[in-house]
Amino acid sequence: MLTADDHIRLERRQRGGVTTAEIWLDRPAKGNALTMAMIERLGTLVTDLARDRDTRVVVLRSSGRFFCTGGDIAAWGSLAPDVMERDWLLRGSAVFAQLAGLPQPVVAAVTGHALGGGLELAMAADLRIAVKAARLGCPEVTIGMIPGWMGTGRLAELIGPARARHLLLLGSSISAAQALDWGLVTAVAEDEADLDTQLEAWLERLSANAPTAMALVKSILGGLHRDLAQQHARAAAQAASTEDCREGVRAFLEKRPPAFRNR
């Protein structure tokens, strides 16, 4: 039986005498959707990497046609609001904050669609490169939910409040090219081979930079996100407690359009 250790794994690679850590999402049959066990596994890996002075760069990668489709609805859809806030939203936000707060630069290699919590995960990275065929978006409102892992704030910071409203309120996705234009990704690749080529150039450059200087830059920028996790988690838990969200989850699982009643 596969476990979270199988679905999220760590690989270390040597490039010119410098170590790069690759965190792989490997649950392709489920679109790399995140479970609580996977989030805990990610948190353990990130805690270890934060103490690892030999690793210079961290890369987020994925198997299959999706980068990540977000939180697994089967994992959170039936949780009571208070349990969801404490065990799912706040814990997930804490792990994503740990990831964003790593002293090493973090690069998200988006080789497939990044949606919902998957986009939130990618936004916790410092740099994002996406293949041209990838789409990025926040579809949570289509099932009566909102981003719960600090995604609303991070999205507004990256692309501005007006464009964040476009993605969050419409619940739609945008192409990698549009994401580049909006500043949501840093670069676009023609395909996975081109992505690997561009990624290698980034890793070579990042590995040559002074680790302490990059860590200090990250520490200054990271202050923008402090003290917001509780606000995000409470709002998401409130959304999850509505009849509309319960209807949205049922409709998603039953593969039909939801019938929202504003309750």
Full DSSP string of 134-196? -EEE--GGGGT----SSHHHHHHHHH-HHHHHHHHHH--EEEHHHHHHHTSSSEEESSHHHHH
> Cβ neighbours of residue 71 under 8 Å, at least 6 residues apart?
33, 34, 88, 92, 116, 117, 148, 149
- Are 197 and 208 within 8 A, CB to CB? no
Is 40 in the active site? no
Can you read off the two tokens belonging to residue 259?
A: 């019938």
Q: CA torsion angle for 175, 180, 186, 189 (degrees, to 10)?
A: 50
- β-bridge partners, 127: 107
**Backbone dihedral angles phi then psi of residue 84, each to the nearest 5 degrees:** -60, -45
Is 254 in the active site? no
Among 22, 40, 85, 120, the one annotated catalytic: 120
The H-or-E segment that residue 8 falls in is strand 8-15
Among 140, 243, 247, 254, the one annotated catalytic: 140
Catalytic residues: 120, 140
